[in-house]
């Protein structure tokens, strides 16, 4: 197996610079060195990759196929170097060359094949699967353009295409010989085979060739390398300009266009189902390719297709890949000639589904005519699955129309993908305890009552390798110097840090590290169009996608409130604070974009008001993404997790902050509940309505925000200022809609759907407690260390072990 020493690495970099660019080290640009170093690292990976696959095959282990429309990987180079334990060697060589690894890492594009939480979770899971030694294949799409780059112009978000492949991506490997064909459209002809059985043949279809590109997922220090397989689409028939057959020519052009469009771009939307045909094409494209390949691979080494569930499990990351259920049925029925009962038995023992939302507007439902035109055979199969399922319901519930209305897969002209996923799976899981409880009691209650054993919770987790070891080297060393380095692969070891929480020297050292990380972030902000900020101020951070339910609006309204108090009373007792935001809004989500504009406008006024003596600052970090997230978590004092209770399924940013010693200011929502449980509620700042209270209001038509507006002069004043141009004399029109959303119940919406005014005073009070607490530096340091010490539960290693034990039943492999 190839291991690099210093001389070999230097030699390898030199060779690649020659081969790729005809350059010597002294003439090479940073980009060129990044490429040469990456190829050198890839060479080491390749050997481990091959031996991992040999071992998996020899042991014939069961494999999980993690099907996800999104994998939000973040940069690979630094992470791979750490996982291979090559950091010392690399640093020595780069030092010789006279360049820093951090600067080389900056050259790598951030592969942004995801929107936010769900995509990042998939990436953390792959990291853990490799590190724990389980056989796994991530299956996704090789979008040509990933998540857009966000540029802020005049306070407004502008979306710029993310051309991440333009310089080539060193870690990917095209696997032409593993291509498969995916068929769309046409019609289904029914015939009989030689044994007189009915055969269903799709005819007159369009097709594309699905071509896999493999990315290595390197386990930490264990020589295990799993694969993330992302599919690209190519035209099947490279069309012939000499063709005389006009029909063929036309079709060839169409197929060419189909292939070109499918993988063009990631939909930058993470909360609203829109029913776009291209999105369905993307879904079926990568699912069909992945399932075809998985079954072919299984059949290479096994004879009996009935035993597929012993060796293969398909985990569906939300409903986006839920056509998996029907595609597997298609393959088993049409290609392997199984009976319906046999095929259904196999399918429902191979598929499992993870739910990530209770918000009804995010539930996928496809209009029948759109769906059946694009996927005629798949639609037939879903009809049959539905027909048989409804028969069961009728038997079990005496034809109760209420049950049919709630549980039917096809209803009201639409296919409900969550219902398909549940019916076709042996496991349905939520992503935090509270979320799973709400699923069982509300959203999926009928399914839970029918099949309670399917339902289970898997509280999310994050990888400490990226979000502490890589992102926060200072705190990593602090921890390792005290408790050793076992935490890197077993985060429960962090508990041993608890004894240092009260130690004054550890407290001082912790605060010094936090300070250094704040300096690093302040420099980054300065360099990226931001204001000058004071690393001695409290860094109060909210970074996540922009959505009304996440309530960035509540946060900025509190800032407006503080500012106005400060203007009224310049001698007010206030600990200097920097409010830091980072968020992308989905391109068509106008209100979210208006909130970004509001944050920037408020920031402009406050940051330029000399009269408040820099006591508060507001920063909007442009283009929040995995690479700058690592630096942001490391620098945070306060973690804002303030979603309307019941709306945030889990959250994972909350865990990354905790791991880096920030204190949680949050509602009892998602995994916040479990964070408070682990560290002790007295070491967090919890406020606001509970999930039960929110749900109660919702069931009774909401509440009346006017009452609050009329009686709370603080609220009234900031809201008036919002629309009167106090924060932006030119563009304040943009804020009228925000104002209306809080006070007017127009259309079907309730006013203040997300209980911002309702929770406002409770939030202000919690914020006041944060400031009082920060004055006691020793208490703060102790509590921050306690947060780190008690984050063990939130490692994705723990999450993956639970998936393995309860759902996937995989065997651990050691090399
Ligand atoms: C659906 C249809 C059409 C286009 C896009 C979509 C779409 C895309 C992405 C819908 C949802 C998403 C992503 C959802 C997501 O990120 N959910 C988050 O998942 C995290 C991991 O479980 C949780 O921690 C968060 O609470 C949850 O919001």
Q: How far is the CA of 429 from the centre of ligand 1 (A)?
A: 15
**For ligand 1, what atom is nearest to the CA of residue 114?**
9
Residue positions counted in the chain: 815
Pair 268, 412 in one domain: yes
User: 540 and 446, same structural domain?
Assistant: no
DSSP, collapsed to helix, strand or coil, labels residue 737 as helix
Among 115, 438, 669, name the best residue to mutate to test ligand 1's pocket (greatest count of ligand atoms within 8 A of Cβ). 115
Same domain? 393 vs 415: yes
Domain, as residue range, for 763: 466-794
Q: What are the residue ranges of helices labelled H in 133-244?
A: none
Final residue before a domain boundary, out of 410, 437, 460: 460
**pLDDT for 348 beyond 80:** yes
Does 180 map to a domain? Answer: yes
What whole-number distance in Å separates Cα of residue 551 and Cα of residue 557? Answer: 10
Domain boundary among 410, 444, 460: 460
Rounded average pLDDT over 430-452: 98
Q: Catalytic pick from 544, 584, 617, 721? A: 544
456 φ, ψ (degrees, to nearest 5) = -155, 160
Which residue out of 316, 319, 357 has the highest number of ligand 1 atoms within 8 Å of its CB and is therefore the one to mutate?
Answer: 357
Name the 3-class secondary structure at 705: helix
Nearest residue to 122 via CA among 69, 174, 75, 172: 69
Under the banding of pLDDT at 50, 70 and 90, the label for residue 249 is: confident
Q: What is the ipTM metric for this complex?
A: 0.99
CA 114 to ligand 1 centroid distance, Å: 9
Reduced to 3 states (helix: H, G, I; strand: E, B; else coil), residue 183 is strand
Cα 118 to middle of ligand 1, angstroms: 5
Per DSSP, the residues of 512-549 read HHHHHHHHHHHHHHHHTTPPP--TTSEEEEEES---GG
Q: Is residue 316 part of a domain?
A: yes
Instruction: With beta carbons less than 8 A apart as the criterion, state whether 263 and 282 touch.
Output: yes
* Token couple for 510: 């912790």
Q: What is the pLDDT of residue 45?
A: 98
Residue 176 lies in a domain: yes
Confirm whether 550 is a catalytic residue: yes
pLDDT band (50, 70, 90) for residue 1: very low
Same domain? For 456 and 481 the reply is no
656 catalytic per annotation: yes
Is the residue at 43 inside a domain? no
Domain with residue 168: its CATH number is: 3.40.50.2000
Are both 444 and 417 inside the same structural domain?
A: yes
Residue 377 lies in a domain: yes
Q: Assess whether 436 and 453 both reside in one domain.
A: yes
Cα–Cα distance for residue pair 625/641, rounded to 1 Å: 18
Count of C-beta atoms within a 10 Å radius of residue 50: 12
Is 397 among the domain residues?
yes
Count of structural domains within the chain: 2
541 and 445 share one domain = no
User: pLDDT (tens digit, 9 = 90+) per residue, 108-139?
Assistant: 999 999 999 999 999 999 999 999 999 999 99
Q: Mapping DSSP to helix (H, G, I), strand (E, B) and coil, where does residue 776 land?
A: coil
What's the whole-number mean pLDDT along residues 534-542?
Answer: 98
Q: What percent of the chain clears pLDDT 70, i.e. is strictly above it?
A: 98
Q: How far is the CA of 112 from the centre of ligand 1 (A)?
A: 15
545 annotated active-site: yes
Ligand 1: nearest atom to the Cα of 431: 22
- Residues 57-112: tens digit of each pLDDT: 999 999 999 999 999 999 999 999 999 999 999 999 999 999 999 999 999 999 99
Where b means 16+ CB within 10 Å and e means fewer, 297-333 reads bbeeeeeebbebbebbbbbbbbbbbbbbbbbbbbbbb
Q: Among 678, 638, 621, which Cα is nearest to 498's?
A: 678
Sign of the alpha-carbon dihedral angle for 552, 554, 560, 566: negative
Residue 241 pLDDT > 60: no
Picking from 437, 460, 483, the residue at the C-terminal end of a domain is 460
- Of residues 664, 705, 704, 698, the one with CA closest to residue 791: 664
Identify whether 655 is part of a domain. Answer: yes
Q: Which two tokens stand for residue 737?
A: 């809609």
Instruction: Look at residue 748 in the predicted model and tell me its pLDDT.
Output: 58
Catalytic residue among 470, 545, 593, 750: 545
Q: Are residues 447 and 520 in the same domain?
A: no
The answer, yes or no, to whether residue 746 has pLDDT greater than 80, is no
Does residue 572 share a domain with residue 691?
yes
Q: Which residues line ligand 1 (CB under 6 A)?
A: 115-118, 121, 267, 269-271, 273-274, 279, 356-357, 362, 364, 431, 460, 648-652, 670
271 and 344 part of one domain: yes
Structure tokens at 613: 């003596």
Q: How far is CA 421 from the centre of its chain?
A: 20
Q: Are residues 348 and 289 in the same domain?
A: yes
Residue 664 token pair: 């949680």
Q: Hey, whose CA ends up nearest to atom 11 of ligand 1?
A: 270
On whether residue 36 sits in a domain, the answer given is no
Write the DSSP assignment of 393-431 as a string of letters. Answer: HHHHHTT-HHHHHHH-SEETTEEEHHHHHHHT-SEEEES
625 given a catalytic annotation: no
The C-alpha atoms of residue 270 and residue 118 are separated, in whole angstroms, by 9
Candidates 131, 236, 644, 652; catalytic one: 652
Closest C-alpha to 294, from 323, 328, 330: 328
* Same domain (yes/no): 751, 641: yes
């Amino acid at each position: 197996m190839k291991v690099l020493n210093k001389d070999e690495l230097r030699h390898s970099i030199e060779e690649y610079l020659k081969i790729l660019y005809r350059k010597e080290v002294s003439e090479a640009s940073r980009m060129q060195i990044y490429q040469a170093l990456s190829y050198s690292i890839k060479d080491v990976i390749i050997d481990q990759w091959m031996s991992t696959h040999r071992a998996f095959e020899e042991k014939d282990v069961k494999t999980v196929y993690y099907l996800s429309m999104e994998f939000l990987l973040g940069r690979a180079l630094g992470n791979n170097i750490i996982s291979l334990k090559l950091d010392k060697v690399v640093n020595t060589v780069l030092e010789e060359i006279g360049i820093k690894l951090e600067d080389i890492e900056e050259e790598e594009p951030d592969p942004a094949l995801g929107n936010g939480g769900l995509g990042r979770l998939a990436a953390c899971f792959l990291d853990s699967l490799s590190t724990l030694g389980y056989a796994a294949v991530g299956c996704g799409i090789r979008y040509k353009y990933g998540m857009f780059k966000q540029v802020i112009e005049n306070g407004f978000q502008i979306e710029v295409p993310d051309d991440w492949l333009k310089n080539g991506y060193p870690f990917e490997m095209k696997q032409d010989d593993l291509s498969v064909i995916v068929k769309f459209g046409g019609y289904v002809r029914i015939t009989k085979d030689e044994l007189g059985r009915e055969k269903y043949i799709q005819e007159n279809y369009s097709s594309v060739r699905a071509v896999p590109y493999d990315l290595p997922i390197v386990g930490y220090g264990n020589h295990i390398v799993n694969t993330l397989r992302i599919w690209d689409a190519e035209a099947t028939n490279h069309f012939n300009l000499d063709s005389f057959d006009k029909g063929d020519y036309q079709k060839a052009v169409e197929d060419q266009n189909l292939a070109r469009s499918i993988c063009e771009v990631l939909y930058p939307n993470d909360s609203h189902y829109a029913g776009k045909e291209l999105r369905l094409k993307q879904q079926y494209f990568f699912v069909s390719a992945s399932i075809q390949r998985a079954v072919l691979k299984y059949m290479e080494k096994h004879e009996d297709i009935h035993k597929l569930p012993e060796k293969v499990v398909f985990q569906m990351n939300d409903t986006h890949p839920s056509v998996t259920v029907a595609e597997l049925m298609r393959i088993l029925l049409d290609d392997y000639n199984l009976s319906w009962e046999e095929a259904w038995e196999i399918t429902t023992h191979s598929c499992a589904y993870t739910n990530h939302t209770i918000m009804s507007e995010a539930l996928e439902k496809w209009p029948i005519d759109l769906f059946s035109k694009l996927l005629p055979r798949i639609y037939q199969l879903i009809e049959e699955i539905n027909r048989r399922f409804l028969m069961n319901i009728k038997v079990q519930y005496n034809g109760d129309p209420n049950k049919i209305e709630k549980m039917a897969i096809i209803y009201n002209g639409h296919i409900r993908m969550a219902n398909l996923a549940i019916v076709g799976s042996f496991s349905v899981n939520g992503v935090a305890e509270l979320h799973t409880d709400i699923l069982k009691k509300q959203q999926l209650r009928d399914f839970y009552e029918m099949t309670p054993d399917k339902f289970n919770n898997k509280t999310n987790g994050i990888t400490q390798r990226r979000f502490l070891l890589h992102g926060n080297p200072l705190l990593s060393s602090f921890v390792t110097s005290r408790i050793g380095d076992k935490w890197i692969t077993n985060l429960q070891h962090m508990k041993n840090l608890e004894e240092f929480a009260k130690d004054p020297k550890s407290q001082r050292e912790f605060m010094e590290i936090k300070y250094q990380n704040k300096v690093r972030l302040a420099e980054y902000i300065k360099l990226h169009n931001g204001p000058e900020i004071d690393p001695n101020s409290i860094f109060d951070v909210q970074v996540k996608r922009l959505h009304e339910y996440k309530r960035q609006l509540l946060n900025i309204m509190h800032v407006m409130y503080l500012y106005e108090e400060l203007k009224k009373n310049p001698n007010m007792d206030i600990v200097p604070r920097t409010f830091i935001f980072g968020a992308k809004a989905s391109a068509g989500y106008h209100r979210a974009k208006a909130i970004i504009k509001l944050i920037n406008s408020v920031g402009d006024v406050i940051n330029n008001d000399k009269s408040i003596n820099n006591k508060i600052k507001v920063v909007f970090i442009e283009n929040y993404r995995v690479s700058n997230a690592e630096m942001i978590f490391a620098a945070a004092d306060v973690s804002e997790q303030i979603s309307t209770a019941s709306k945030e399924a889990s959250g994972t940013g909350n865990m990354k902050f905790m791991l880096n010693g920030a204190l949680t200011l949050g509602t009892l929502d998602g995994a916040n509940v479990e964070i408070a449980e682990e560290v002790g509620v007295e070491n967090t700042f919890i406020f606001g309505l509970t999930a039960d209270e929110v749900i109660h209001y919702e069931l009774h038509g909401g509440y009346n925000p006017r009452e609050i507006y009329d009686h709370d002069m603080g609220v009234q004043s900031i809201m008036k200022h919002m629309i009167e141009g106090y924060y932006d004399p030119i563009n304040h029109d943009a804020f009228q809609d925000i104002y209306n959303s809080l006070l007017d119940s127009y259309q079907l919406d309730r006013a203040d759907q997300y209980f911002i005014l309702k929770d406002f005073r409770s939030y202000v009070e919690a914020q006041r407690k944060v400031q009082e607490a920060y004055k006691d530096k020793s208490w703060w340091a102790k509590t921050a260390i306690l947060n780190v010490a008690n984050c063990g539960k939130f490692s994705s290693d723990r999450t993956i072990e639970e998936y393995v034990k309860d759902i996937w039943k995989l065997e651990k492999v050691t090399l």
